[in-house]
Chains A and B, each alone.
Chain A
Amino acid sequence: MNNNTNNNINNTLGNLDVMNPAPRCPVTILLDVSGSMSGQPISELNAAVAQFVRETQADEAASMSVELEIITFGSTADVVQPFTSMASVTPPAPFVAGGMTLMGAALSLAERDLAARRELYRAQGVSSYRPWIVLMTDGRPGDNWEPVAKRLRAEAERGKFMYIGVEIGNSADHATMCQILPTEPGPVKLQGLRFKQFFRWLSDSLKSVSASAVSDQDNIAYPSVASWADLA
């Protein structure tokens, strides 16, 4: 475990309402808040995350199924939103950009917390959809990222979770992202600063997931990414 982590595992489990029979969909969003994100990018990102919370909460099935964790990484990797049912999430305080890009530490937190969450589901007999990990960055990792990235990538390639990587701007290290993420679907570049469009797509996708039966999650028709993804 990387030392640049600020949270104790007991704090990251959050509450699990066992009287809610909806299958859960744990979602971990890893956000780059390094110095290069300062200015308009971080303000756009803040607005988009708040919108994502509101829009997902507005959908009843998604608000009962999705459990959200937000991890930011800059000079430190922090769990700013421990796993919480979307129905109970309040939009996080605005992120402040600064420092380097401790992506490896953030990936370690995500790996630890997802494993703990799945174990909690198993112990409590709560069924779940495949977890989602969303990684958004505009740079390259500034710490030891390879071991944890390799493990996560292997898990994702075995279909254990949905792993989405979004590159922000031209300074994102595409070659490294290709090593971090599974080959398919691979990283995708954000058009400009279209954070809101991306998070709307993410919200709509999670609504589709939570409206489906667990065994049908591979057959979900996801919405178009044309509004935010640079596929050129």
Chain B
Amino acid sequence: MSNKKSSKVGGLNWAKLGTVAAEPATRACYDPTGVAITLEAKDEKASGGEGIVYTVPGKPGFLVKVYKRETLENPSKANAIRERIEAMCENRACQAMKGLAWPLMPVYGDASRKNLIGFAMRACKGMPFSSLFNGPASVKEKFPAWNRRQLAQTAVNFVKRVRLLAESNVLVNDFNPANFWVDEQCNVSFIDVDSFQIADRRGRPLVTHTYFASHTAPELLASPSALNRPRTVEHVAFSAALVAFQLLMCGYHPYSYQGVPDGGGCGSPDENLRAGRCPLGIGADCRLPDCWYKLWSQLTGKLKNAFITTFRNGHSAPAMRTPLGDLEFALNGLLITMAKDADPDRVSLNPCKVKSHEWIQTPAAPRSFMPRPAYPSRGFMRTPGFARPPYVPQQQYNPQGYGRFPTPRMGGTTSNFNPNLY
């Protein structure tokens, strides 16, 4: 038997898997005042890679996350967790935010409060975005009364929440769709927030390495060391746009490439994301499948442009990405259009036909390549009390030259019309 060797395929190693230490069935932990809380296995609500979330007996509406023994036994990880949780527990503004499972107080493994093992937080309601990301049928199954108007409203609320957090020096880091929840009234909640990047008392970013490969900016996936870099608003803008796109497209990933160029399969969304293979916009050497193109065609031109700018032009040029505020504005524009447009296909989860394209403005000069200041001095922040700057639509930048843009027109097709553009 060769089961003592390590596996090269998928990390399977029988001997190693047989010796994983189980987490204790009962945990005694203490709040900051030294009051004991007993957490039992039957109270386990969820388990993730780093920790286990428990309901708290006698405290409905509150949860406790306890980090796994394997995590806490690593001194550097344990120290980083302690520093992060204690800093988060001092952020009263985020603690007061509704729909945010922000750490309310640290939880210790001993009454002397030396050994931080987790934190208490509010429970969130709703359904994870990932439950809605299995196609139109899954949306209908979860929320029978919904159409794409509610999905658009959810996208607005989601992007707004990400923006507000960023303006508070808190950058969402792990964009796993299972970490974002929505209820039937389109209220969004964020869980697993201990992975967010926050600033310590001196303003230095406390970097976390948690990420979800299919929802992470490509420059962070370039190498393992790149993940150690502090996150910036451009990273967040990329990932937030990706989640918003999936909301509007019932889970379809913008890098679900359809090119099949090498005969080696169409590639997974995360592989295509790294490589920049995206079927949106002009110049793409592939196209959206017809069933998904119908949904895409129902978006407004400005919103399509915002996505194309982020996923195509902004793939390798982070400064080109549509800022969160602009994306939110474009999403609001879609909501307004949906309210005005009598065509049922505009809001249908299963549009019957492709909407005739809506042309964006004449392509103009590309946005400045001047990079935005990186975290923590973010140029996009607005000073409180100042009016919102006027919306300036993001123009599509074509690195191959402007000659390839079709002449804007009101409708119709020509031989060089690319239906995938809008």
Contact = CB atoms under 8 A, between A and B. Distances in A.
Interface of A: 17-23, 60-61, 64, 118, 121-128, 130, 156-157, 159, 162-164, 174, 178, 182-188, 211, 213-226, 229, 231
Nearest to B253: A21
Contacts, number: 155
Of A22, A186, A213, chain B has the most CB atoms within 10 Å of the CB of A213
Contacts of B213: 213-216
B10 interface: yes
Most B CB contacts (10 A, CB to CB) among A164, A183, A224 go to A224
Interface residues of B, number: 53
Given A23-B268, A215-B268, A224-B20, A127 B256 contact: yes
A194 to B, nearest CB: 13
Contact of A224 (B6, B8, B17, B214): B17
Contacts of B212: 213
Given A127-B269, A223-B20, A19 B291 contact: yes
Given A21-B250, A21-B251, A188 B14 contact: yes
A217 B10 contact: yes
A125 B133 contact: no
A231 B14 CA distance: 8
Contacts of A163: 9
Given A185-B13, A221-B49, A224-B22, 9 more contacts: A19-B137, A21-B133, A162-B9, A184-B8, A186-B3, A224-B18, A225-B18, A229-B17, A231-B18
B134 A22 contact: yes
A202 B18 CA distance: 14
A215 B269 CA distance: 9
Contacts of B6: 184
A219 B11 contact: yes
Interface string B266-288: 11111100100000000000000
Given A18-B289, A225-B17, A218 B10 contact: yes
A60 B3 CA distance: 32
B265 A121 contact: yes
Contact of B2 (A183, A211, A220, A223): A183
A218 B10 CA distance: 4
A222 B9 contact: no
Nearest to B286: A125
B76 to A, nearest CB: 19
B348 interface: no
Nearest to B17: A225
Contacts of A128: 265, 268
Contacts of B18: 224-226, 229, 231
B258 A125 contact: yes
Interface string B17-42: 11110100000000000000000000
A159 B9 contact: yes
Given A21-B133, A64-B138, A187-B1, A222 B269 contact: no
12 contacts: A18-B289, A19-B250, A23-B269, A124-B289, A127-B256, A159-B8, A182-B9, A183-B2, A184-B7, A185-B5, A214-B270, A224-B20
B135 interface: yes
B266 A215 contact: no
Contacts of A61: 130, 178
Contacts of B10: 130, 159, 162, 217-218, 220
B257 interface: yes
B136 interface: yes
A185 B12 contact: yes
Contacts of A159: 8-10
A60 to B, nearest CB: 6
Contacts of B260: 122-123, 125
Contacts of B263: 122
B3 A125 contact: no
Nearest to B70: A221
